[in-house]
Amino acid sequence: MLRACIVVALLAATIPAQNVARPSQVARPSQNDQLLNVNQLLERGRTGEAERLLRQVIPKPEEEPVQDFGIFTQAGLHDILWAMVGYSYLAENDYTGAERVTGERLRAVEHLPIFLSLMAEVQRLQGKHAAAFPLYVRLYKLWLDNQLPADFQKRTTLGYVECLIVRGDTATAELVARPPGRYGWLRRGPAFSRGHFQHVCRRDGSGRTQARGSTV
């Protein structure tokens, strides 16, 4: 219900006035109506239908106009709707669908935490920790830079710790999982300092980020 309210509010704020149907256009649903239908399909668990309708209504990721991101922009609304589709597939254990949708958005807006987090979850839940690990590293770096929204911090910590344990780096996993302390830098970010992070991570010859002292 909350998700539906958010989407309705965003639609009201972002859909241009020219989408209001004129008398001669009543038989043709407006973009507003079609996007609301997408949300209703997702609420009913009809994810495949929602994806097909969304692909008909809004541009492909590579055709999105370049603009500043914000949830009250047209591009921001599209990202939220695509993330909802991805998470809906993930809730159905349809990893192929979730990875397809998320991968398309990541290629278009690779810096957005919502899609980095979603793809990391998709890989982790399939047991593909080697693929999930660099995504969690990127998310953790965003957190250290105070650029990771609070909604993604807990799941980033849990996923990152799991990947570290699978890689055999239990010492770093313990540091990451340690509750925040009373010092200022700990209140502003994860309970794992930038110095520790830079010590653990290095660039190897292939350009991949690896944990020091561990293997994939």
pTM over 0.85, yes/no? no
Domain shared by 98 and 21, yes or no? yes
Domain shared by 69 and 135, yes or no? no
Q: What is the pLDDT of residue 76?
A: 78
Domain shared by 121 and 71, yes or no? no
What's the token pair of residue 68? 């500043």
The domain total for the chain is 2
What's the token pair of residue 142? 């965003």
Nearest to 54 by CA among 79, 73, 90, 72: 79
Domain shared by 12 and 62, yes or no? yes
Confidence band (pLDDT; 50, 70, 90) for 216? very low
- Given a cut of 70, whether residue 136 has pLDDT beyond it is yes
Domain shared by 121 and 184, yes or no? yes
In terms of phi and psi (left: phi > 0; alpha: psi -120 to 50; beta: otherwise), the region of 146 is left
State the residue range of the domain holding 16.
Answer: 1-110
Q: What is the pLDDT of residue 95?
A: 96
For residue 9, give every residue at least 6 positions away whose Cβ sits within 8 Å of its Cβ, in sequence order, or none: none
